[in-house]
Amino acid sequence: TAMPLTVADRADLEERLGRGEVVATIESAGRSDVWETQFSGVWFVRHYGENDRPASECIEIGAVPAILLSHRADMAAAATRLAAVLQPRDAVDQ
């Protein structure tokens, strides 16, 4: 549910949730920062827009936030590329 928050509200919420052990930065169509809060499975996700200013924020509850999950098609393509890279070098030269 979207809730309008003031800058002070946001800072208070972020302080109360705290920071956990897991942090990730995604560089895809702009930067996004993701961190687990001090509560296991509660994630803070912040997307940035122009001039590196926050464009949107959300809190996700789950094992992993959706933005960190790989798409099946991407994984299939990566598996094919990985198999080619891991071929023994002498097999590639033949």
> Which helix (H) or strand (E) segment is 25 a member of?
strand 23-27
The structure's pTM equals: 0.79
Does the pLDDT of residue 92 top 70, yes or no?
Answer: no
Q: How far apart are CA 15 and CA 37, in angstroms?
A: 10
Domains in the chain: ranges and CATH = 7-93 (3.30.1370.140)
Mean pLDDT of the region 48-68? 93
> Nearest-CA neighbor of 46 among 59, 35, 33, 27?
33
- Mean pLDDT of all residues belonging to the chain: 92
